[in-house]
Chain A
Amino acid sequence: MSAAVATRAEVCVVACAEAWRGAGEILASPMGGVVPTVGARLAKLTFAPELLLTDGEAMLAADVPALGARPRVIEGWLPYRRHLALAAGGKRHVMMGASQLDRHGNQNISCVGDWHRPARQLIGVRGAPANTVNHPTSYWIPRHSPRVLVERVDMVSGVGYDRAAAAGPSATRFHRIPRVVTDLAVLDFETPGHTMRVRSLHPGVTAEEVRAATGFPLDVPPDAPRTRTPTAAELRLIREVIDPAARREREVPA
């Protein structure tokens, strides 16, 4: 099977996996959906074998099962209390979802509208405030749209670069948002003012398309490269080993 025929979902899987390249012996926490979960497992099976992964509950799995399957070997125990402690210690890179995300990387999963009486109550801030000031936090946006990538988020759950800077050195000390992966592009904050820019466009996506799908003026460098496509070996792992039921294709329809 040729790498040229990878689906958009599979390009996204690899873009998520790349977030954990070179991360070392840390916990990879794909929280935001199927695609980052497949990505983390792909990273562990290929270029980042030292990653730690949970079974989605309280156990660390030594092997890499298919989605929905149980690991054969448990190598550690990570109940919520130890998970929170590990996050504070920094040995973790989480990829969270976002109901709203702004150009500075502020994320909202709490509520839409006025917090005192929200138009739409969501799940709550969960661990986003702690994650973002303690260890690298990336985001996965399965549908890049102006409703998600907004000028201003309604409730800052995950802390962005501007808010961390305003809060002072204790907030910026361990704060880092390495990347945002969407169904259209990979974005990062590697600009002088730490505002969002396109790092790479997925194959077949134009700069105009990404700008139109973003609710704030987005920096698309004229020389923005293409997101790399999966290798043949990666495609085989994604399709045959990690996600044989192709759940990724439901999250990012072709």
Chain B
Amino acid sequence: MTADKTMTADEAVGRLESGMTIGIGGWGSRRKPMALVRALLRSDLTDLTVVSYGGPDVGLLAAAGRIRKLVASFATLDSIPLEPHFRAARQRGELELMELDEAMFMWGLTAAAHRLPFLPVRAGLGSDVMRVNPTLRTVTSPYADGEELVAVPALTLDAALVHLNRADAHGNAQYLGPDPYFDDLFCEAAREAYVSCERIVDSEEFATAGGPQTLLVQRHCVTGVVEAPGGAHFTSCAPDYGRDEAFQAAYARAAADPAAWREFARRFLSGDEEDYRAAVAECVREAS
């Protein structure tokens, strides 16, 4: 009998500590573990190193002053190109950044997952990624080609936070959308991984929803499973739901103005996840 790893979002975040390196799955404004991020905002965790293909997860944590250092290739809301809080934090000079190319980022996570100190890549050569990250080193191929390549350091994570469509109580998790993003890699690169999902199901239900290749995350990497319906809102979680474009636009508008942002945070981020869902539902009723 394997362990029941179900817990609440607050219990998952309660196991984290300030100063940790936290990887956040998804991509841009797509399948972000927003319920876990909101739980993190309710906690007093701070001084975090956040590793993310950045979206509103980065924006919310930056706005709340929780990020000491960000490791990222970009931060975007996809349908709105620039993440407003990320932008503001950078322009205030508040965000220490390790800016990496997207492929460097992937190979850094892969190196961590494989317990390697680095992996060699061509990406980064000649670019200012090398200038703004003075600790990056190159490595020379020991073979006849003698190529000099970038040695991307392992991006080892203390914890990973990801959101998938389905999971069982043991930590196996299934994605049903078109793109796995890098959620399995985040979990494998982390000492502990917390998986939120739209619905916790019996393991036997997995086969009715999709083929074996949809079983993206395996339980041996997973510490906690959180049932969080709507847990990626307002980012997309295909096929369960698309991005809430109206809400995202409201988020971006509020983020552009300190007073509007205080009101947005009071209305949507001051309570628990149930309060959040109720506030979003009320917002939808007002708009219709």
Contact = CB atoms under 8 A, between A and B. Distances in A.
Interface of A: 57-59, 77, 79-81, 84, 87-88, 110-111, 115-130, 132-134, 155-159, 163-164, 166-171, 173-175
Nearest to B127: A129
A171 B125 contact: yes
A156 B126 contact: yes
A168 B104 contact: no
Given A87-B103, A130-B102, A157 B178 contact: no
A124 B27 contact: no
B125 A159 contact: yes
B74 A125 contact: yes
B71 to A, nearest CB: 11
Contacts of B87: 121
B269 interface: no
Contacts of B74: 123-126
Contact of B127 (A77, A156, A173): A156
Contacts of B129: 125, 129
Interface string B52-82: 0010000000000000000011111000011
B123 interface: yes
Contacts of A168: 125, 148
Given A84-B102, A130-B103, A117 B91 contact: yes
A147 B135 CA distance: 32
A187 to B, nearest CB: 20
Given A125-B73, A125-B101, A127-B103, A115 B128 contact: yes
Given A123-B82, A156-B127, 12 more contacts: A79-B181, A88-B121, A117-B90, A123-B74, A125-B99, A125-B128, A128-B127, A164-B126, A166-B126, A170-B147, A171-B122, A171-B125
B264 interface: no
Contacts of A166: 126
B73 A170 contact: no
Interface string B96-122: 000111111010000000000000011
A121 B101 contact: no
Contacts of A133: 122-123, 125-126
21 contacts: A79-B180, A80-B182, A84-B102, A88-B122, A88-B123, A115-B132, A117-B90, A121-B82, A121-B87, A123-B81, A126-B74, A126-B101, A127-B73, A129-B124, A132-B127, A133-B125, A133-B126, A159-B127, A164-B125, A168-B148, A174-B122
A156 B93 contact: no
A154 B124 CA distance: 16
5 pairs of A and B residues whose beta carbons are closest in the complex: A124-B74, A130-B123, A117-B93, A167-B126, A129-B127
B102 A155 contact: no
A117 B40 CA distance: 27
A252 B276 CA distance: 42
Contacts of B148: 168-170
A100 to B, nearest CB: 12
